[in-house]
């Protein structure tokens, strides 16, 4: 089944404790992206990757890191989480750029709480 998976689905952590949220897709997609969703703000892009070893900042990159060492994986790293990073996080993937019909397939979401 074609899908985007994220782990963990739920995480409660404390300020300053490094964490990684994994994202994997099995559709051989070039493009992957991370979004965060906050009430009243919709979804905002954190980072994106257009291919292996190619990553770039989205609208709200502060406090996050990403890497794309393999095509299928795109982990999100919070080196020193803070309470303002409490949010619902989505990973998404799509075939790639060059077309407007770039339907993005979303993972199930990771609900992160930073105390």
Partner 1 sequence: AQKITQTQPGMFVQEKEAVTLDCTYDTSDPSYGLFWYKQPSSGEMIFLIYQGSYDQQNATEGRYSLNFQKARKSANLVISASQLGDSAMYFCAMTVRTGTALIFGKGTTLSVSS
- Buried b / exposed e across 41-76, counting CB within 10 Å, b at 16+? eeeebbbbbeeeeebeebebbeebebbbeeebebbb
CB of 24 to partner 1, least distance (A): 16
54-57/65-66 β-pairing: unpaired
User: 39 exposed, middle or buried (CB, 10 Å; 0-12, 13-18, 19+)?
Assistant: exposed
Residue 67 or 104: the one with the smaller Cβ distance to partner 1 is: 104
CB of 96 to partner 1, least distance (A): 8
Residue 69 or 101: the one with the smaller Cβ distance to partner 1 is: 101
Residue 16 or 22: the one with the smaller Cβ distance to partner 1 is: 22
CB of 80 to partner 1, least distance (A): 26
Q: Which residues bind partner 1 (CB under 8 A)?
A: 31, 33, 35, 40-45, 48, 50, 58-59, 88, 90, 92, 94, 97-106, 108-109, 111
CB of 105 to partner 1, least distance (A): 8
In the numeric block, which tokens belong to residue 49?
A: 């990757």
Residue 80 or 111: the one with the smaller Cβ distance to partner 1 is: 111
CB 18 within 8 A of CB 77: yes
């Amino acid at each position: 089944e074609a899908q985007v998976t994220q782990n963990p689905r739920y995480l409660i952590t404390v300020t300053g404790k490094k964490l990684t949220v994994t994202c994997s897709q099995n559709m051989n997609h070039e493009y992957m992206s991370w979004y965060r969703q906050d009430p009243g703000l919709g979804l905002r892009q954190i980072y994106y990757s257009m291919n292996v070893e190619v990553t770039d900042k989205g609208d709200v990159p502060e406090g996050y890191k990403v890497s794309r060492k393999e095509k299928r994986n795109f982990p999100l790293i919070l080196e020193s989480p803070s309470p303002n990073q409490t949010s619902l996080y989505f990973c998404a993937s799509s075939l790639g750029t060059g077309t407007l019909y770039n339907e993005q397939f979303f993972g199930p979401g990771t609900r992160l709480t930073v105390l």
